[in-house]
Amino acid sequence: MRLLRALRARRIAAAAAYGGGGITAVGGLTIGLVLVEARLAKKMIRATPSTPPPVADGVFGPDTGAPLSFVMLGDSTAAGLGVHEPDETPGALLAAGLSAIAGRPVKLTNVALSGARSSMLPEQVDRALAASPDVAVIMIGANDVTARIAAAESVGHLAAAVERLRAAGCEVVVGTCPDLGSVKPLWQPLRWIAQNASRRLAAAQTIVVVERGGRSVSLGDLLGREFAADPREMFSADRYHPSARGYAAAAMAVLPSMAAALDLEPDFDVLPDPRRRTGVLPVYLAAAEAADEPGTEVAGTRVAGTDQGPRGRWATLLRRRGVPEAAPTTPGAV
């Protein structure tokens, strides 16, 4: 299954590079049962109105020293929809954490928009570049899956965004598409379809991000056990977006990668994985493994002095201390 996902992700990434249409997020499974379940899920999710995400833009940390410029791009998850206080948003959590690691102020500019798809990234990048960013975090993809946007089209927009930010000297960390199979209002077979579509897109996102000099962090069902045991605490009132605790978990997974990208020395250790004999793989294989292992960072690396191997770009997988253990990956487990 993982090898098949890796090959599909590589095909999607190649299609994005050459302008191909790729495959849609949920393929051709538009049978009546799935459509009925999708409508019911949307009705349940929207039953509880959500207020706009709180605005957290500003300077975090000490008053002295030149601030690092940090921009947040993406969809409602990046914007922090589902919480009520600015300091509960992922942008604020990451800015405060980065400031503590760097020992200097961090200026946050959040250009993420609720409902955004990957096709909206060009406009967000325009606004982000106006802030002369040192580091950017992108969280995008869930709305592409629910709208059944072709995966190649989605990752093509993401690849272009990473290229533009990197060309401006900005480090880029991408939190890949979350596992929509963990959303409580979904039933089988829609849950299984959503899970597979999410992981397929996440793997393809990782490939294009790493190939363009960025880093990816798989979010997946990052708190699978916790969400299953206590969904009222981990999800917000709409049962779709994370709560403050859910956003804190995502920030804890992304923060070490931000610090590493900026050559800082955070107090995070790499977790050994006895199941993996090596942390270096061709990027398409690393991407598929990361999609199944929430909290895994994938970044480009060199082997024997070169960044390219016989099967493409070399990449390394890392899991940081403090990242919650993932739930079992059986479809419908949460």
| pLDDT tens figures, 201-246 | 998 999 999 999 999 998 875 544 444 445 454 444 445 566 777 7
- Is residue 198 left, alpha or beta, with left meaning phi > 0 and alpha meaning psi from -120 to 50? alpha
Residue linked to tokens 């300091």: 87
Query: Would you give the DSSP letter of residue 329?
Result: -
Residue 62: what residue type? P
Residues 173, 138: Cα–Cα separation, whole Å: 6
Instruction: Report domain extents, the chain.
Output: 58-266
Q: Residue 186 pLDDT > 80, yes or no?
A: no
Residues 256, 266: Cα–Cα separation, whole Å: 7
Burial of 103 (0-12, 13-18, 19+ CB in 10 A): exposed
Query: Would you give the DSSP letter of residue 267?
Result: S
Residue 246: what residue type? G
Catalytic residues, which ones?
76, 238, 241
Residues 92, 86: Cα–Cα separation, whole Å: 7
State the CATH class of domain 58-266: alpha beta
Q: Residue 330 pLDDT > 80, yes or no?
A: no
Predicted local confidence at residue 22, as pLDDT? 42
Burial pattern 169-186, b for ≥16 Cβ within 10 A else e, equals: ebbbbbbbbbbbbbbbbb
Burial pattern 256-278, b for ≥16 Cβ within 10 A else e, equals: bbbbbbbeeebebeeeeeeeeee
| pLDDT tens figures, 9-39 | 666 666 665 554 444 444 444 433 344 444 4
Predicted local confidence at residue 191, as pLDDT? 61
pTM equals: 0.80
Of the chain, the percentage scoring pLDDT greater than 90 comes to 36
